[in-house]
Structure 1
């Protein structure tokens, strides 16, 4: 999804994994027709109730990461804004994203807002497709998210050149691979064309994109 779809004048994209329930084979068929890549898992009836509660919680997380993105982008862009202006922007974005859940939009929203504030275009007039995922915390750090494999596959299918992920190898708090490790593993395993770029903060992401491709040449000298 383009960040422009939620009213932000930026060039980057966020990748969203939609979840839901089907009650019978007809609903399942309908979903599959609309989303050919959809995956299905059999669950108990109680799982739906638990999911409904989780969605309410994820909505709160999304609203928080939006506030962090607005505040962080304004801070890094060093653009004077009143408290009322920031709150108005936050409320409009919360309304524009009412159909989304979870906080994985944070990083890309922060980048898009920075582009808007500074009137810059990291896509180089559409020559570069930039996507990514990651929460944005109050301290401007990028936090871990889920569904990395699915998001990478979607980004690759949509022609992304760069995919930003949380640089969380040292901070990942759950079992299994961190987002950073999983993304690099999946990219190699599936021979993806896109470049996986781990970032620890919004500022690091902006620095990378502001200096691309010079930054790439420094990383991979010929």
Structure 2
């Protein structure tokens, strides 16, 4: 019995020596692995944090120069152009950076989550406004024609142009569309076979008046980048119904500030625009003769 006890104590002492001898080695291993674990965690946390930061909800609306579009692109046999700009809504920094990459000239404004519903509503309303101004453009152009146009012809042409213009929304194409329709019905070419690049913006109302629109600054930059010679804007200095500068005043200010080459042409009605275009070639000829 005593012998077994002594033997057990001996084994216990030997195991104790082994544990004591290996303990420093295990502690050293732990100390050696600890920095590697910390570094690995930090390396993993960096991309995780960056991705999280990029996708945290942050809302911005933006607007950027687009293009001037020939009325021919929406099925009208004219030479003039309307102007569209790129507008959108982003919901995080990743989307914002992507939009900046696609449109380096984009201007962003911080907003909140409610802007998403507002933006959808604006697109829906813009489609209705586009359809209305297309009809007004058709009737305004028809009023300039010597031959009466029947209601059925107007309706058919209206449906056709709406289908062609489905990629655009808003009513700012109205004025230029009505001018293009006058060219089509009267077989005219106000560009003088491409001599002039004529663009513009503005609604057209049922009474032939030109209504105010938004994004004048961006549209002017778009027209300038497209080498437009003339750019029509609403003549609304005396009847602008919103806060801030009227379209006419803003256009004049932007032209001076940025020293734009194009000529800004404010018009109150389609008749004023047509009068300017009718005298364009003779005016240019008179200037050349005087020089």
Separation in structure 2 between the aligned mates of residue 33 and residue 89 of structure 1, nearest angstrom: 39
Q: Which residue of 2 aligns with 1:113?
A: 181
SS in 1 for 2:85: coil
SS in 2 for 1:19: strand
Deviation for aligned residue 1:215? 4.5
Separation in structure 1 between the aligned mates of residue 132 and residue 283 of structure 2, nearest angstrom: 31
- Does residue 32 of the first structure (1) align with residue 124 of the second (2)? no
Q: Which runs of 5 or more structure 1 residues have no equivalent in the other structure?
A: none
Q: Which runs of 5 or more structure 2 residues have no equivalent in the other structure?
A: 1-68
Separation in structure 2 between the aligned mates of residue 67 and residue 84 of structure 1, nearest angstrom: 12
SS in 2 for 1:120: coil
- Does residue 158 of the first structure (1) align with residue 215 of the second (2)? no
Any idea what the Cα deviations from partners look like across 1:64-104, whole Å, max 9, x if unmatched? Answer: 10000001101112333221111011111111111211110
Q: Which residue of 1 aligns with 2:64?
A: none
Q: Are the equivalent residues in 1 in contact too, given 2:139–2:154 (CA < 8 A)? A: yes
89-98 or 135-144, which moves further after superposition? 89-98
More relative contact order in 1 or in 2 (CA 8 Å, sep 6+)? 1
Q: Which residue of 2 aligns with 1:11?
A: 79
Aligned pairs for 1:1-222 (under 5 A) are 1-215=69-283
Separation in structure 2 between the aligned mates of residue 79 and residue 144 of structure 1, nearest angstrom: 30
Q: Are the equivalent residues in 2 in contact too, given 1:106–1:134 (CA < 8 A)? A: yes
CA RMSD in angstroms comes to 1.7
Separation in structure 1 between the aligned mates of residue 146 and residue 126 of structure 2, nearest angstrom: 30
Q: Are the equivalent residues in 2 in contact too, given 1:79–1:117 (CA < 8 A)? A: no
